Every structure is written in structure tokens, then in C-alpha cells.
């Protein structure tokens, strides 16, 4: 079995992963803020 390259070229994956990490960070911060606001 060989690996399927879903995204060609593979170099395009790095910016996508970076953007994904940024979006997760924003989501996490939003959840934290919402929790803090619920405690007030």
C-alpha cells in the first residue's frame, strides 16, 4: 500500500495546518471567555 497524497504539492499542507491551529486557538479562547462570563 502506498500513501495517498490528498493535497499536492505537500508544501501546501503547512499553511493549512498553521491556519487550523490558529482557528482552534480562537475557538478555545472563545470557550474560555464564555465560561468566565457564565460565572459572573
pLDDT in tens, 1-40: 666 667 677 777 888 999 999 999 999 999 999 999 998 7
Helix-, strand-, coil-residue percentages of the chain, each rounded to 5: 75, 0, 25
The confidence score (pLDDT) of residue 2 equals 66
The confidence score (pLDDT) of residue 7 equals 67
Q: What are phi and psi of 8, to 5 degrees?
A: -120, 135
The confidence score (pLDDT) of residue 21 equals 96
| pTM passes above 0.75 | no
The confidence score (pLDDT) of residue 1 equals 61
The confidence score (pLDDT) of residue 9 equals 78
Amino acid at each position: 500500500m502506498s500513501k495517498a497524497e490528498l493535497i499536492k504539492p505537500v508544501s501546501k499542507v503547512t499553511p493549512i495546518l498553521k491556519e487550523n491551529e490558529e482557528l482552534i486557538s480562537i475557538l478555545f479562547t472563545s470557550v474560555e471567555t464564555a465560561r468566565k462570563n457564565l460565572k459572573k
